[in-house]
Amino acid sequence: MQSRDKRRAVLDSPSPICYSYKVHNRIERWGLPIADPKSRNLRTVNLNSLPLLREILRHGSVSKAAEAINISQPALSSTLKQLRVQFEDDLIVRSGNRVKLTPKAEKLLAPLDGVLQALEGLVFDDDADTRIRPSILIATNDHIMTTVGSRLARIVTEKGAGFMPQFVAAGANSLRELTAGNIDFIIAPRLGLMGGAPVSANKLAQMKVELLLSEPLVGIVSASAGLDIADISIEDYLGQPHVGFDVGIGRDLSNEQIYLSSLGFQQFELIRFSSYSALIEAVISSHAIGLIPESLARLYASRTDLQLFKPPIKFPPLEYNLVWLRSRDQDSYFEQLREALKLGVDELSDKPVFQFS
């Protein structure tokens, strides 16, 4: 019995001699199972380290991954050392001032994500989901947060998404934060509206830009302003004070004023906001005129202190782009979020406020 145990120990050892023709014959003669080297290596993998590997690969940085999942950087660095030995690859390497994934790590990300989602589905009860889900950060303005974001909350609940969308305010540094991996998506009218420095061709090449939403602008005015807005003329429209909107920094003209100027028109802008919610409240309190996206106008249509009207000037539709890094294109969570955003946007166009020709 003791000699049989010794033989088993020898056969389970990683020594190449185990796979020689001579030993293979002995295995067959003794009637022992042939050990698969891949299955033996798999037994040495710590499954708890795989979610950590996913976060490291997603963020392309140990420090950012540690911050995202709220563990210490030294602990995650230690895990990375073990993973490098296990996968026989550096996984992430420094290239100049940047850190990038190795080719093997890029190939690992998508299948690793799928495997972990499948494991989570087996282990956790969907009716009592207590998983810590990774956050996907979306930088945008209050219009998208209010309209698309509210629908996204319902969609991810119904679909049981394995991630948590988190909306943050877009600003001058959003593009830099995107390329650094600190945020995951930007939803904005166009890249130039961030108010930051011009984007280099190299950084633009790292990004994917996709049209997400296009909708007309609707005029709003306080119900107590006493304006006849049913068939307001261009002259009367331009003669009223306006509350403007623009997310640009350090610009003398808003987008609305720039467009009117191209037509040879001018208007008096009383005040300007980068928040549509603030713009609406300013219109109500000042009796000025404002323009807001149709989806927001639909939300405020039931308010008795606000009137909606079709502008006498045909403004171009407001178009929002969805921007993300090409390197994250195959991330399954990113794919799921993009699809969920599109579903939310589709619901916005169900019932137009006015017919725009």
Which stretch, 3-17, 79-93, 251-265, 275-289, has highest mean pLDDT? 275-289
216 closest CA partner among 158, 294, 320, 121: 294
- Mean pLDDT of the region 292-310: 87
Alpha-carbon span 78 to 52, nearest angstrom: 11
pLDDT in tens, 231-272: 889 999 999 999 999 876 666 778 888 899 999 999 999 999
Residue 241: predicted pLDDT: 94
Residue 7 pLDDT > 70, yes or no? Answer: no
CA dist 16 → 11, 23, 33, 35 (Å): 10, 10, 17, 12
Residue 278 pLDDT > 90, yes or no? Answer: yes
Residue 53: how many other CB atoms lie within 10 Å: 23
- Mean pLDDT of the region 294-307: 85
Alpha-carbon span 50 to 56, nearest angstrom: 10
Percent of the chain with pLDDT over 90: 29
CB-based contact 242:289 (threshold 8 Å): yes
Residue 312 pLDDT > 90, yes or no? Answer: yes
Residue 41: predicted pLDDT: 57
The number of C-alpha atoms within 13 Å of 221 and in the hemisphere containing its C-beta is 20
Residue 34: predicted pLDDT: 46
- Mean pLDDT of the region 60-66: 81
**Domains delineated in the chain:** 2-42 (no CATH), 49-128 (1.10.10.10), 135-214+320-348 (3.40.190.10), 217-316 (3.40.190.10)
Type and span of the H or E element at 47: none
Residue 198: predicted pLDDT: 59
Name the residue with higher pLDDT: 66 or 213: 213
Residue 234: predicted pLDDT: 93
Name the residue with higher pLDDT: 323 or 305: 323
- Mean pLDDT of the region 7-25: 43
Residue 17: predicted pLDDT: 37
- Mean pLDDT of the region 65-75: 78
- Mean pLDDT of the region 152-157: 88
Alpha-carbon span 340 to 337, nearest angstrom: 5
- Mean pLDDT of the region 146-167: 87
For residue 329, give the DSSP letter.
T
Q: Tokens in use for 333?
A: 């969570």
Phi, psi of 61 (to 5 degrees): -160, 135
Residue 161: predicted pLDDT: 76
Which stretch, 31-35, 201-205, 253-257, 284-288, has highest mean pLDDT? 284-288
116 closest CA partner among 263, 268, 331, 356: 331
The amino acid that residue 324 corresponds to is W
Lowest mean pLDDT among 10-19, 123-132, 171-180: 10-19
Alpha-carbon span 229 to 133, nearest angstrom: 49
Alpha-carbon span 280 to 35, nearest angstrom: 71
Percent of the chain with pLDDT over 70: 76
- Mean pLDDT of the region 38-66: 73
Residue 38 pLDDT > 90, yes or no? Answer: no
289-272-354 Cα angle (round to 5) = 40
Residue 334 pLDDT > 80, yes or no? Answer: yes
Name the residue with higher pLDDT: 352 or 279: 279
- Mean pLDDT of the region 100-128: 72
Residue 84 pLDDT > 70, yes or no? Answer: yes
219 closest CA partner among 277, 283, 263: 283
Type and span of the H or E element at 279: helix 276-286
Alpha-carbon span 156 to 86, nearest angstrom: 35
